[in-house]
Structure 1
Amino acid sequence: MDLKEEYPKVLILSDATWSNSNNIGNTYTNLFGGWDPERIAMVYARGDLPENKICNKYFQIAESRIIRRFFDKSVKTGIEIAQDTAKLEDYDIEVDVEASRKLYSFFKKFRWNIFLLARNMLWKIGKWKTSELDEFIDSYDPDVIFALACEGSYINDLQQYIIKKSNRKAAIYFVDDIYSMRQFSLSPIFWLNRIISRSGLRKTTSMCDKVYTIISDQKEEYDRCFGKSSEVINKGGNFSGDMPKPTARKNPMKLIYSGNISAVGRWETLAQVGRALDSINSEGDRAHLYISTTDVLNAKMKKAFESCKSIKFKGKLPIEEVEEFQNSADILVHVEAFNIRDRLKTRLSFSTKLVDYFERGRCILAIGWDESASIIYLRENDAAFVVDDLGALENELRKLIFSPELVEEYGEKGWELGKSNHGIEDIRQRLREGLLSLSEG
């Protein structure tokens, strides 16, 4: 069997960079691991550089260059990048990376609805449909398109253009709820952005021959919305061997959270855990919560964490140390927000770090709204010690901390769910076969 029969030549369309340091980049690495590197490429819409060991061929469209082109017509808004040759020593790339980093950090920090609207307008009037982009598509000549579902109308315009230009069949992958109107905001501009985004997503999805969703609750709702039967593709892990043996139980017990905390209100729930542990520890030093995140804390977060003696904030850890950090836990912590805006925003999401937790073979403590898809999934499979009521948090924590048999039991149950539903080879094979079928159809 030749390589074309095994691996279709796929072109990924994404707003975010394929970097193992961000969530979606980590997901790409997980799904496309083992893919022939000569048969995978990406077009993305951010100015930073990729970082992974799978894909080497990219076309990058940077917003900073779109802005610069208004003042200098010689600026190329899109450029081809090879990961193994793109270096920050290149002055133009360094300028683009730094400018894009500042722009993205600003949007991420404030995320004002007016700025999101302005971003879409920038792409509407800016020149990104260029001969360089066309030449990249033609020269790569993909067999199939794999588009990440994105809420910005700008990225939907880009994806629609490439699908039409390439004249290839496409699949779209939803990893968050970016379509439902079941949201909360008092801003009219938020709802304007949502309506515009939904229109773009409907058109992009209508141009795709296959839809992937990340969890069954999302599948059920989106199948109704788009009138298409989607397939669930989630993150995979290595469950081929024996379950890792837990380390000797620590005294005080070590609870660990690693992941994002700021974008969807998780930090508030973590602070609640810290306060509950402070109350428990007033009777003796029983347990501490260790937090690792790449997010930069604002003043409010710092104050909340520093006010809890039981919280040990570790900040950003090198990627290669995260697994060891998680393995040192007695209990791995997953949290979701309880405020109405963020809980609705993440209602149909699945936290991919849960698969990493399953791999560790440690007890998972999951705290979140009972309508969160992640919480429903864990509860239905009895794979975590679930708390969905903050009023009961301290009592439930006491129950878990003082019950070593529960800690051991849920470590085994999480591992078994991972082994049953998240085997990496099965997931990669299903994705490869699905894209191969499209390319041959």
Structure 2
Amino acid sequence: MVLVFSHSGFSDTDANGITLKNLLSAIDKEQKAQFYCDTATPDFTAAQQYFRVTDVQMLKAFFFRKSKHIFTAQQEQKKAAPVRKISGSLKKRKYNFFLKWLRERLWCISPWGHRALRSWITSLAPDAIVYMVGESHFMDKLVLKTCKRTKKPLILYHAEAYRIIDLNTRRGLDRAYYRKSQKLYARLNDLARLIIYQSEPLQVGYEAKYPHKAQTMLAYNPAQRLQIPYQPNHPLCITYFGNLGVGRHESLIETANILQKLDPELKIDVYGKALAQIEDALRACEGIRFHGFLEQEQLREIIAASDILLHVESFSPEIMPKLRFAFSTKIAQCLASGRCFLSYAPETAASSQYLRSVGAPIACDARQLEVLLSQMIADEALRKKSVEKCLRIAEKNHDLERTAVCVREAILRLG
């Protein structure tokens, strides 16, 4: 039995949930259980047992309001009612470090069900503990306590750079919060038997800051190859899907304007959730058709009907330094899609360095972008060649079954 701790539950829609589900997919669902803290309903195709506590449930516990936390497939909780979410106005303040400190303290002292969780873990009798490292002090402490009680091997999975943030760039509560985060992580690092990294820059960054004796493994985001045959469109269908935050909409608008210059018939079809002001900016762009969020099954059909898939990152001076370790989960999906793929992102972004190293199409400035778009639009043979190259990259580095089996075998070898 593998017990997983993470903020996001296994999922087919949330990026972290998708990554974790794919990564552990070679382990039978009967042999997985998960503790998580978001509001998504349990995914019984990924695991059979769940313990879920949300922020709202944690707060309600102060007023002796009980909530259901344990979900099993045998109880057929697939139709469980969704729980209340934290106010959007509070979510916008997630970078307010006073609120971060307060949230962490409340999680530690709230009577949300610590004893019930201990009993649940005891009944599971896990053989290994997997922790998708986030930035929660509470979750760190919970994992440390669980390791101490169970004496089972700890596996850390890194998809973000939360614990290698340069403290010299931070001030006040922000600096204090991340200093505490790094101290807690140092304890986790000392306990870990296996550490899995999503990308090479993350591995280099963590190992430079936290020397360890644990085994290590590089596991790029896995993705399943799209089996739907490609049918060309006229005019070409150019698609962007995924996160529209962190300045990505500005790069999309820039790309759309270049497309319009090359061919006024061409537009970018954009799919994803967006804040109202970002949605307004996208809708105001002549070269963009904004469609909003789609579920994974619908999105698969959109990808299959596309000629070119785009990935973009922000070129804002404030955001670019944060891209040093950023590796979008959708890159693997695009590479494995059997469709032409083009990335427009700063040279210093982790995704750019990776794509350049494997020979995938990438533009790192507006001039390169215009040249590549012009070539891809005009030359069908070039698009086919690009597809073949991307599929080879996906097969080598992002094959879902091979990656999941490697992760499973690495965990089993820990005994």
Assess if the C-alpha contact under 8 Å between 2:57 and 2:112 holds in 1: no
Assess if the C-alpha contact under 8 Å between 1:291 and 1:312 holds in 2: yes
Equivalent residue number for residue 330 of structure 1:
307
Match of 1:298 among 242, 262, 276: 276
1:21, CA displacement in angstroms? Answer: 1.7
Equivalent residue number for residue 111 of structure 1:
94
Comparing 118-127 with 414-423, greater Cα deviation is found at 118-127
Match of 2:267 among 264, 288, 310: 288
Equivalent residue number for residue 234 of structure 2:
251
- What is the CA–CA distance in structure 2 between the aligned matches of 1:108 and 1:400, rounded to whole Å? 40
- What is the CA–CA distance in structure 1 between the aligned matches of 2:207 and 2:27, rounded to whole Å? 29
One-letter code of the match for 2:252?
L
Equivalent residue number for residue 332 of structure 2:
355
Verify: 1:30 aligned to 2:7, yes or no. Answer: no
- What is the CA–CA distance in structure 2 between the aligned matches of 1:80 and 1:171, rounded to whole Å? 23
Deviations 1:309-348 (A, max 9, x none): 1101111123211111111111110111222343333321
Coordinate RMSD, CA, aligned: 2.5
Return closer, same or farther for 1:202/1:342 CA change in 2, 3 Å cut-off: farther
Verify: 1:176 aligned to 2:160, yes or no. Answer: yes
- What is the CA–CA distance in structure 2 between the aligned matches of 1:82 and 1:202, rounded to whole Å? 34
One-letter code of the match for 1:378?
L
Structure 2 gaps, min length 5:
none
- What is the CA–CA distance in structure 1 between the aligned matches of 2:172 and 2:254, rounded to whole Å? 32
- What is the CA–CA distance in structure 1 between the aligned matches of 2:320 and 2:168, rounded to whole Å? 9
- What is the CA–CA distance in structure 2 between the aligned matches of 1:109 and 1:84, rounded to whole Å? 38
1:267, CA displacement in angstroms? Answer: 1.9
Return closer, same or farther for 1:88/1:364 CA change in 2, 3 Å cut-off: closer
Assess if the C-alpha contact under 8 Å between 1:278 and 1:308 holds in 2: no
- What is the CA–CA distance in structure 1 between the aligned matches of 2:206 and 2:95, rounded to whole Å? 27
Return closer, same or farther for 1:121/1:323 CA change in 2, 3 Å cut-off: same
One-letter code of the match for 1:251?
H
Verify: 1:120 aligned to 2:104, yes or no. Answer: yes
Assess if the C-alpha contact under 8 Å between 2:42 and 2:78 holds in 1: no
Equivalent residue number for residue 202 of structure 2:
218
Equivalent residue number for residue 5 of structure 1:
none
One-letter code of the match for 1:197?
S
One-letter code of the match for 1:217?
P
Q: What pairs up with 1:35-434 in 2 under 5 angstroms?
A: 35-72=27-64, 75-76=65-66, 79-83=69-73, 85=75, 87=77, 94=82, 97-98=83-84, 101-103=85-87, 105-113=88-96, 114-128=98-112, 130-182=114-166, 188-228=172-212, 230-238=216-224, 245-248=229-232, 250-262=233-245, 264-281=246-263, 284-285=264-265, 287-293=266-272, 295-299=273-277, 301-383=278-360, 385-390=361-366, 392-434=368-410
Assess if the C-alpha contact under 8 Å between 2:196 and 2:219 holds in 1: yes
One-letter code of the match for 2:391?
W
One-letter code of the match for 1:30?
N
Return closer, same or farther for 1:32/1:139 CA change in 2, 3 Å cut-off: same
- What is the CA–CA distance in structure 1 between the aligned matches of 2:156 and 2:362, rounded to whole Å? 32
Matched pairs, number: 412
Assess if the C-alpha contact under 8 Å between 1:305 and 1:313 holds in 2: yes
Assess if the C-alpha contact under 8 Å between 1:332 and 1:357 holds in 2: yes
SS in 2 for 1:43: strand
Assess if the C-alpha contact under 8 Å between 1:177 and 1:347 holds in 2: no
1:387, CA displacement in angstroms? Answer: 0.9
- What is the CA–CA distance in structure 1 between the aligned matches of 2:290 and 2:284, rounded to whole Å? 12
Deviations 1:219-263 (A, max 9, x none): 122122221362111222345x9x864322x3322111111112x
1:433, CA displacement in angstroms? Answer: 1.0
Equivalent residue number for residue 3 of structure 1:
none
SS in 2 for 1:427: helix
Deviations 1:358-386 (A, max 9, x none): 22111111011111111111111112x21
One-letter code of the match for 2:327?
F
- What is the CA–CA distance in structure 2 between the aligned matches of 1:340 and 1:187, rounded to whole Å? 19
- What is the CA–CA distance in structure 1 between the aligned matches of 2:149 and 2:318, rounded to whole Å? 38
Assess if the C-alpha contact under 8 Å between 1:17 and 1:25 holds in 2: yes
One-letter code of the match for 2:179?
I
